[in-house]
Structure 1
């Protein structure tokens, strides 16, 4: 595909001839790297029309650029950026220095604290055995119908919904579908003024923390837990109280009476995947009512519960309005969608709307409307069914491999999700193990990022099956088992 002519603009004031100006702007684009070697230049006719000059002027400029080795001419194909074109020198350090420099270390009043993240390379798709969590399998996604929904969302009929600034409001079609079809599956009933669309779960957790936590407030988090929540606390200069989970999730009797907010993942605990039983859910709600604290329920992956029927959401059992419920489409549609929702009492949602408007007003309208069509036309349900069938198959293969190769689950009963939480043999550092396995094109996720700093853990790791083909699971698990054996012998 040719470089678009719009890349090139004549200088507003110049004493040079038009031919010289065209030569200058093309040469500058090549030297600066905006036009790369091998790329095709716009045709002389298109560039002339764009710049408002005669075609012969462009042709003469191109001819001179060929002579100066910026371009090459290919018979019947046009002009291309030459491999021999000059390039701007790549200086080792182009940091601004001298009197005009800015000391950003002194200017930044609130830096983002570094916390060990989940070890995952950005080019994870280049690895043959990616046992990583939360990424989409392109073979499972309904590309055709998503594209059709996107085209429908940008059509003339939806022009107002697409282009208007809706200020604090969300797409009514998306809100209506969530209220009528998504929430009832979790036993939740709500009104439109009790729901807010968010830019995913992380965005929702950030807004909730901003509104509920301040100096003197006490927040309870699970240990281990979702690393993104800890990063939010770090940025707020806030320290939460971590409570270790057991085989049934967060123990309600360990929550102190002084708690103000409790963050929990009862349907699929992150990262162990254990499900909190009904009795414990009721006990947690009773504690919230007695001690007057708020529960933040992150109900991620509730759709991926193909071994047992999903347990009722905490929010569905809530009689006092003390539960703030978070849902997301990141795992069920695709993570790059960055779309989720919060269900809570009307006064809290009103405050969330005000805070959201300060930052981003509302999620992009065309994304909301595309998702609304995808859900309402039945494509979402079809995708969930397809994912459940495929994940069930992959899970069975991985379970067999875990037993066959003597790998060690963490001793917790799991009913769904898209990953396994395992424990390495004594002495094995799973962070180093993950780095060693990369040499064999295997990706695993070490568990240290999920734990509080007060209790570092290098013995756990997560193996997910959402991103790996079923035919590759066994070979990858063989490499994981061999890696564990080698690490244990070296320990």
Structure 2
């Protein structure tokens, strides 16, 4: 049977090249059973004329399909659907019940959907004034060198490394770079046996909480603080203490006796962005020593410190090994990377590794090796420098616009980071304000999600400048001010 060119049409919204789209049309037609073994494809000349693309584009697409055995070539006769082309199994649809037969409210034993977390619209890139935190700015990212590092990771030399099952181990190249280059910049020196690679800082915090805490133990976290951590700690069913935060970070003096673990973000507190000074860091370590608890240090955004050099990590000041250090590449590379690490004494790493193995063996080898390449070739440091310069400029512009329009910054001025922590008048419900601002093309983050839900104020919000162009900041701030 001859397949007519009319069976092909291009989707203007397809995310890929014309060649890839033609390959997609043919392969999906074969897999769905619309194109059958022995059917003849349109000639490259006819199909290129029908689609309005170059003939070489069609020829290259046919060539790729030929190598994957979707098509075969018969001399001068053209291309045909291969007799051994991949096919999908076809199942007859079964009748669906008119109503659910399972009472899921009774079956579900543990519930997690009630946790309060920040919400970001999936189409956030379509908003002109996107003051939301944690999204990548594609104009700053080093696409070219990242692509080369990914290709290197998939090359023949590294193929067996990145495609093998490490079992419970991690990519030795990435671990080596973390130990020899990344950690010493924070004043930390660790052996490979004291490092565990994780699926981002969130995964690292979950692993630590699961190992350290039980229903009979007590943990303390910052209030306001990272809502993802609050959800993690509540899952452990431990007794949770809310530690207040001032302009120098967590206030530890008021912690009650019997605390087992304190979770803190000293580099840039989430969400206020304040940096804990050296004296407060020493005091927290002394307090931990006297009261015999451990500290989980989330070294949040330490690279983005453009006003002055970053303060030494808590882990680097720790002489007893009671600080567990959590780092991440996701914020400085891109959030979808989901790659982080834990640094801790070997006995704890052994338990963390065993727990991780019950959920996943290890983060994907290809991602680990790509990041190792990107780090070792110096691209990461160049990217951080470029981001810091851009963020410093955007922060200056935003600070000026905030002052011009009379908005209130809730924290003292900080050494870096990627956001401002803001306070609206007491009678303002920021969640309602945020909904109105969306209709004006403005995205902000309501702040109540960062507080203990029992007494969360409604008039705080966060304005990030990591994803908004400097040229749009002033108008976006004006629109925000118009709502108060």
- What TM-score does the superposition give when structure 2 sets the normalisation length? 0.83
8 Å CA contact 2:215, 2:237 repeated in 1:
no
Answer yes or no: is 1:158 the counterpart of 2:162. no
Partner residue, 2:425: 425
Shift of 1:309: 1.4
Q: How does 1:46-61 map to 2 (within 5 A)?
A: 50=70
Q: Superposed, which structure 2 residues align to 1:345-356 within 5 Å?
A: 345-356=345-356
Helix, strand or coil: the match of 1:105? helix
Q: What corresponds to 2:112 in structure 1?
A: 112
CA distance in 2, matches of 1:232, 1:8: 45
What per-residue deviation string (whole Å, max 9, x for no partner) do you get for residues 443-467 of structure 1? 0001000001122111110000000
- SS of residue matched to 1:240: strand
Shift of 1:4: 4.6
Q: 1:208 to 1:10 in 2, by over 3 A?
A: closer
- Call closer, same or farther: CA 1:5–1:282 in 2, change over 3 Å: same
CA distance in 1, matches of 2:237, 2:187: 36
Name segments (4+ residues, structure 1) moved above 6 Å.
18-22, 40-43, 51-56
Q: How many equivalent residue pairs?
A: 432
Alpha-carbon spacing, 1:95–1:388, altered in 2? closer, same or farther (3 Å): farther
Residues 113 and 235 in structure 1, CA contact (< 8 A), matched pair in contact too:
no
Within 5 Å, which residues of 2 pair with 1:72-83?
A: none
Unaligned residue ranges in structure 1 (runs of 5+):
12-17, 23-37, 60-93, 485-491
Correspondence for 1:296: 296
Match of 1:186 in 2: 186
Provide the alpha-carbon RMSD of the alignment.
3.1
- Aligned position for 2:375: 375
Task: Quote how far apart the aligned CAs of 1:119 are.
Answer: 3.3
Output the CA distance in 2 between the equivalents of 1:396 and 1:413: 11
Matching residue of 1:330 = 330
Match of 2:247 in 1: 247
Matched position secondary structure for 2:455: coil
Q: How far did 1:50 drift?
A: 4.0
Is the contact between residue 420 and residue 464 of structure 1 (CA under 8 Å) also seen in structure 2?
yes
- Give the CA deviation at 1:280: 1.2
Distance 2:272 2:247 in 1: 9
In 1, Cα distance between equivalents of 2:449 and 2:210: 23
Are the structure 2 counterparts of residues 140 and 229 from structure 1 closer, same or farther at C-alpha, using a change threshold of 3 Å? Answer: same
Which deviates the most, 446-455 or 103-112? 103-112
SS in 1 for 2:134: coil
Give the aligned partner of residue 217 of structure 1.
Answer: 217
Q: For residues 83-232 of structure 1, what are the structure 2 equivalents within 5 Å?
A: 96-97=96-97, 101-232=101-232
Call closer, same or farther: CA 1:115–1:149 in 2, change over 3 Å.
Answer: same
| 8 Å CA contact retained: 1:179, 1:191 | yes
Match of 2:18 in 1: none
1:469 is matched with which residue? 469
CA distance in 2: counterparts of 1:141 and 1:417, whole angstroms:
17
Q: For residues 169 and 21 of structure 1, do their structure 2 counterparts lie closer, same or farther at Cα, with a shift above 3 Å needed?
A: closer
Contact 2:215–2:239 (8 Å) recurs in 1: no
TM-score (norm 1): 0.82
- Indicate yes or no: 2:260 matched with 1:260: yes
> Counterparts of 1:19 and 1:461 in 2: how far apart (Å)?
53
Structure 1 20/428 Cα, relative in aligned 2: closer, same or farther at 3 Å? closer
**Does residue 7 of structure 1 match 2:28?**
yes
Change (3 A) 1:222 1:96: farther
Q: Is the 8 A contact 1:113 1:234 kept in 2?
A: no
Aligned partners of 2:186 and 2:313 also within 8 Å = yes
Specify the SS of the correspondent of 2:114: coil
Please name the residue that 2:10 is paired with: none
* Residues 120-161 of structure 1, C-alpha deviations (whole Å, 9 max, x = no match): 211100100000111100000000000000000000000121
Equivalent residue of 2:391, what SS?
Answer: helix
CA distance in 1, matches of 2:96, 2:406: 56
Supply the distance in 1 between the matched residues of 2:180 and 2:257 (Cα, whole angstroms). 36
